[in-house]
Amino acid sequence: MRLATWNVNSIRARAGRVVDWLVREDVDVLGMQEIKCKPEQFPLDEFEAAGYDVIAHGLNQWNGVAFASRLPMTDVETAFAGQPGFLKGAEGPDQPLEARALGITVDGIRMWSLYVPNGRGLDDPHLAYKLDWLARLREETTRWMAANPGSPLALMGDWNVAPTDEDMGDPSFVPGLSTHISPPERAAFSAFLDAGLIDVVRPLVPTGYTFWDYKQLRFPRNEGMRIDFILGSPTFADSVTAAHIHRDERKGDAPSDHVPVSVDLAAGDDDDLDRPMIF
DNA sequence: ATGCCTCGCGTCGCGAGA
């Protein structure tokens, strides 16, 4: 199985490009972020013509997450337990949920398409929202892993955090002044690794960015950021046989500012991985 | 540099993105 994540920056502006890539790369399941539309506005026909079913979760022109899959999708959730909401200018609990998380199960694998809040600025209420959102997601992930020991889980999406200095190549992001690299954001990300999740791409693709700003020739200068990740539970990580950052998708006409990230998994219906080794 | 792109909205200026 080939599984991928991609912040598409408007699916209506990018459907042709996304479907072409899915077919060309033989992708089975794609988690998308920033579809920027409601489900009834999603360009379903182009996906269905290529053999993909779509589940979309979008509330308005902002955010929005979706899955496209050639395999059956079950157990759909449009938010994780404890997910906080946000409304600009509002404070306290009971702010409305945004369309930033979508969970499904495919072939026994629990997977989430996640669009972590941007943060906007170190002094902005959106940063507190981002940190709370990540902390709540980490708590729910820990709870889920304890309740489902040994079950494969993949958290994939746009995390809006550059976890190490090697992941930040955009000179406009300044330590002490900028989001994405601040110590609390990095701590919120590394808490997932502490909880037992594994970055399944980095060991196989040790360098490279997944995002380049549209402005200031960031892509030609390769001044990008690695902020899109696939984190897996141990059993999920054990099944990963390959990983790719599809850098070429930043080229050509009307690209997203993010590129897709994919992993290949050993076939789920053979039991080679469970067979005891005999010497 | 309050800038530089790109997108959606809703009518050409603004919020949001990272």
Q: What are the boundaries of each domain within chain A?
A: 2-270
**Strand partners of residue A228:** A158
Q: Which CATH superfamily is domain A2-270 in?
A: Endonuclease/exonuclease/phosphatase (3.60.10.10)
pLDDT at position A4 is 98
* C-alpha distance from residue A42 to each of A28, A48, A89, A157, A210 (Å): 19, 11, 30, 19, 24
| Confidence grade of residue A94 (pLDDT, cut at 50, 70, 90) | confident
Nearest Cα to Cα of residue A170 among A104, A227, A120: A227
Asked if pLDDT for residue A29 goes beyond 80, the answer is: yes
pLDDT tens for A200-258 read: 999 999 999 999 999 999 999 999 999 999 999 999 999 999 999 999 999 999 999 99
Tokens 């979309």: give the residue.
Answer: A56
Nucleotide with C1' nearest the A213 CA: B18
CA-to-C1' distance for A273 and B8, Å?
47
Confirm whether any atom of chain B, the nucleic acid strand, is less than 7 Å from CB of A227: yes
Collapsing DSSP states into helix, strand and coil, what is residue A188?
helix
d(CA A205, CA A60): 35
Nucleotide with C1' nearest the A173 CA: B18
pLDDT tens for A188-200 read: 999 999 999 999 9
Angle between helices A125-147 and A183-194 (to 10 degrees): 10
CA-to-C1' distance for A248 and B1, Å?
32
Collapsing DSSP states into helix, strand and coil, what is residue A57?
strand
Nearest Cα to Cα of residue A114 among A174, A214, A188: A188
Asked if pLDDT for residue A141 goes beyond 80, the answer is: yes
Confirm whether any atom of chain B, the nucleic acid strand, is less than 7 Å from CB of A126: yes
pLDDT at position A257 is 97
Q: Write down the catalytic residue from A115, A167, A180, A228.
A: A115
Does the annotation list A257 as a binding residue? yes
Nucleotides of B under 7 A from a protein CB: 4-9, 15-18
Is residue A124 annotated as a catalytic residue, yes or no? Answer: no
Is residue A158 annotated as a catalytic residue, yes or no? Answer: yes
d(CA A244, CA A181): 24
Q: Burial letters for A152-172: b for 16+ Cβ neighbours within 10 Å, e otherwise?
A: bbbbbbbbbbbbeeebbbbee
Is residue A52 annotated as a catalytic residue, yes or no? Answer: no
d(CA A97, CA A78): 10
Q: What residue is closest to B6 (Cα–C1')?
A: A214
Asked if pLDDT for residue A1 goes beyond 70, the answer is: yes
What's the gap between Cα A188 and its chain centre?
Answer: 16
Would you say the C-alpha torsion A25, A200, A163, A195 has a positive or negative sign? Answer: positive
Collapsing DSSP states into helix, strand and coil, what is residue A168?
strand
Confirm whether any atom of chain B, the nucleic acid strand, is less than 7 Å from CB of A34: yes
Asked if pLDDT for residue A61 goes beyond 80, the answer is: yes
**Strand partners of residue A224:** none
Asked if pLDDT for residue A63 goes beyond 90, the answer is: yes
Per-residue CB contacts under 7 A with strand B, chain A residues 35-74: 36-37, 41, 60-63
CA angle A219, A13, A11 (to 5 degrees): 95
Q: Average pLDDT of chain A?
A: 95
| Confidence grade of residue A276 (pLDDT, cut at 50, 70, 90) | low
Asked if pLDDT for residue A264 goes beyond 60, the answer is: yes
Tell me the percentage of chain A whose pLDDT exceeds 90.
93
